[in-house]
Amino acid sequence: MRAFVTIAIVFAATFASADTTVVDVPKQHEGRLPLLVVLHGDREKADVAARRWRAAARERGWAVFAPQCPRDRGCKDSWWQWNGDPAWLVSQVDALTDIDPTRVVLVGWSGGATYIGMHAQAWSERFSAVVIHGGGQGPLADGCASPALPAYFLVGDNNPLHGLAKDLHAYWSACTKDITWDLVRGGDHEREDRALDRKKALAIIDWLAARPRQ
């Protein structure tokens, strides 16, 4: 099993490794590509997580990289339960070529979003923003990252764990004002998932594109 995926992005394709890590490349582009790094939810495969964003990302000219939580490092199918070193994930992103370093965004769905929150301070050196979708919890360590990243929350208030997402929002709000709280009113976990339709995904990508890494 490969430890990471290395490609030069030169044409439209979807690449998948044996452990189902996915790299999806838009059909037409000029220069380096902005990138969505998408973390899957519990008991989910990376290609399923990638499909939530693929159509909108291609339309806007973004690449999508969806890594499978690494089995060779002890992960079964849950980022937050694995709780591995964030440096592993950063190394997978660093292995990709032809990527615009000012627009590399970390996106998490459900348990993937929770893992992002648990290590909130770890992402500032590599990513330009984060998206918390249907999950999240406050970080394990104290203190704000420097710089504090912009954050987009897409969460439902009928998710039984919504309080944890609110905790993460409160933490992030104490560190930066560049936050969007997109609440799915009455939304349980299934409705949180459905809320990310093509129109919503396009709107979020446009929000992210306006926030390059300085």
Does residue 1 belong to any structural domain of this protein? no
Does residue 5 belong to any structural domain of this protein? no
Residue 102 scores a pLDDT above 90: yes
13, two tokens: 């394709």
As for how many domains the chain has, the answer is 1
16, two tokens: 């998948």
Cβ 36 vs Cβ 51: under 8 Å? no
pLDDT of residue 31: 83
Does residue 26 belong to any structural domain of this protein? yes
For CA atoms 141, 144, 148, 153, give the dihedral sign. Answer: positive
Does residue 6 belong to any structural domain of this protein? no
HSE, side-chain direction, 13 A CA sphere, residue 23: 22
Q: What is the CATH number of the domain that holds 70?
A: 3.40.50.1820
Q: Which domain holds residue 29?
A: 13-209
Cβ 4 vs Cβ 95: under 8 Å? yes
107-118 confidence digits (pLDDT tens): 999 999 999 999
Does residue 4 belong to any structural domain of this protein? no
Does residue 58 belong to any structural domain of this protein? yes
pLDDT of residue 26: 78
pTM of the model: 0.91
